[in-house]
A and B are shown apart, each in its own frame.
Chain A
Amino acid sequence: MAGTIKRDYSLVGESTRRAIETGLASAEWYHTDVPRKAMKELMQRSDGPAIRDTIIWIAAILGSAAGGIYFWGTWWCVPFFFVYGVLYGSSSDSRWHECGHGTAFRTRWMNDVVYQIASFMLMRNPVTWRWSHARHHTDTIIVGRDAEIAVMRPPDLLRAALAFTGILDFRYSLPALVRQALGKLAPDEKSYVPEMELHKAVIAARWHVAIYIATIALALTMRSWVPLVLIGVPRLYGTWHMVLTGLLQHIGLADNVVDHRLNSRTVYMNPISRFIYWNMNYHVEHHMFPMVPYHALPKLHELIKHDLPEPNPSMWHAYREVWPVLLRQLKYEDYFLKRDLPPTARPYRGEFHEVNMSAAAE
């Protein structure tokens, strides 16, 4: 086993320096060859699918909220809030994501409106998170550069389990919004948000905090929990599906490589999860070609799967694959799941991969 270098996940620390020095930061990433004509077709934008899905989404949110309010005080409200919570606390993540990329709708303002609403639902600052996600795409799972590494090494399994309840994220997100509303941005945030955008982050945080204050005031005035169960708290009780699907994106796979086939995972999922998740289960494909809208990802998958590792056939399969890797990472943080490429696949930038392969599962 090669000597372990402790990972420093801050964005201004030793791992950051090393990533820049070794050329891992802002590197050229591998892309499967796709003819320009085919890629142009896949990239084409359309308002239709996202308008249809957004109407269904909003109708389901309003319907489940109405049912929850109607049955408030009885056990019958539970299934309604179960649905409402997932729509609010989980499917907002995929809407945030796709609209942040600007690929969900063809019309820009539609992307912007849904992005702002979804950011609020997720307690995410729409400005800082836009930039952190840009960084995530530049430096996917590059330690010291990527601000969106969900499970760091060695893995904290208690944290990972608590993530399903939303408690930890809630405890981070709300104070972060308050801090930002007071005009204070953390050094990590300043490392990926350009200076000219910082004031926008403060203004956005103030709007979010103002809405939460108004919601609390309404709850106090009404002497009712209902406003809080509808706004803010779903981030706790409805976040589990986002974590269930989102954790699988990169967990247990290689870090510090420049090939999304090795650090991202495509998992086949049921149609309900795919609606909630807006096809982000095709995650290798999304990272390789972020210009392709969510509704075209299945087609892209068919086109390039000959060059990608075998997808996991189900979430259950993927978690069964991940669990022993996490356990082993508790002792050896360099350990990871080596993705096998098809025999015909092109290898890429072996100098980065070979460093890690010495610790990989064989």
Chain B
Amino acid sequence: MADWVEACAVGDVEEEDVIRFDHGGRTFAIYRSPDDEFFATDGFCTHEKAHLADGLVMDDIIECPKHNGRFNYKTGQAKGAPVCVNLQTYPVKVEAGKVIIQI
């Protein structure tokens, strides 16, 4: 049974940006889209172990800071070389000003 875990406050993530969230020995990335929706994915790029939270959010794309691999953070889809493996995404809800993800 997956757990809902509080990741951060709404105000912790700027619009069109991403932050890192560590929980239970795992790392996640929490995104706030330009239209003010929240999303969550695994925190590391599937190509090589780089923190996506150091990357750049452009529209619905997160670009990895190491090799510029791109994913759609809403669907997890890898958008081409050098990333070939999709990113795991997680359900997100916002309650009482908190961003909560199901992991």
**Residue among B48, B56, B63, B84 making CB contact with A138, cutoff 8 Å:** B48
Are B70 and A131 in contact (CB-based, < 8 A)?
no
Q: Verify if A243 is at the interface (C-beta below 8 Å from B).
A: no
On chain A, the residues within 8 Å of B47 by CB distance are 134
Q: Does A106 contact B (CB under 8 A)?
A: yes
Min C-beta distance of A155 to chain B, whole Å: 29
10 closest A-B pairs by CB? A134-B82, A43-B56, A134-B67, A102-B68, A101-B68, A291-B65, A130-B81, A291-B56, A194-B84, A137-B67
Partner of B63, one of A26, A127, A291: A291
Interface residues contributed by chain B, number (CB under 8 Å) = 17
Check if A45 sits within 8 Å of B81, measured CB to CB.
no
Q: Are B82 and A103 neighbours in the complex by a CB distance under 8 Å? A: no
The listed residue (A194, A196, A290) touching B66 by CB distance below 8 A is A290
Give the chain A neighbours of B5 by CB distance below 8 A.
none
Least Cβ distance of A107 to chain B in Å? 11
Chain A residues in the interface with B (C-beta under 8 A): 26, 39-40, 43-45, 101-103, 106, 108, 127, 130-131, 134, 137-138, 194, 196-197, 289-291
Tell me if B58 counts as interface (CB < 8 A to partner A). yes
Q: Check B43 for interface membership: any CB of A closer than 8 A.
A: no
Given A26-B48, A138-B48, are A197 and B67 neighbors across the interface (CB < 8 Å)? no
B81 near A291 (CB under 8 angstroms)? no
Provide the residues of chain B in CB contact with A291, threshold 8 Å: 55-56, 63, 65, 68
Contact B82 A131 (CB under 8 A): yes
Determine the distance from Cα of A197 to Cα of B80 in the docked complex, in whole angstroms: 10
Q: Chain B contacts of A102 at CB under 8 A?
A: 63, 68, 70
Is the CB of B17 closer than 8 A to any CB of chain A?
yes
B68 / chain A contacts, CB cutoff of 8 Å: 101-103, 290-291
Contacts of A131 in B (CB 8 A): 81-82
Q: Knowing A40-B56, A138-B67 touch, does A26 contact B81 (C-beta < 8 A)?
A: no
Contact with A along B55-90 (1 / 0, CB 8 A): 110100001011110100000000001101000000
Give the Cβ gap from B42 to chain A, nearest Cβ, in Å.
17
Minimum C-beta distance from A114 to chain B (A) = 15
Residues of A within 8 A of B82 (CB): 130-131, 134
CA distance A108 to B65 in the complex (A): 16
Task: Answer whether residue B26 sits at the interface, using C-beta atoms and an 8 A cutoff.
Answer: no
Question: Are the CB atoms of B65 and A290 closer together than 8 Å?
Answer: yes
> What residue of chain A has the Cβ atom nearest to residue B53's Cβ?
A36
Could you list 23 A-B pairs, sorted by A, with CB under 8 Å? A26-B49, A40-B56, A43-B56, A45-B56, A45-B58, A102-B63, A102-B68, A106-B58, A108-B70, A127-B81, A130-B81, A134-B47, A134-B67, A134-B81, A134-B82, A138-B48, A138-B66, A194-B84, A197-B84, A289-B65, A290-B67, A291-B65, A291-B68
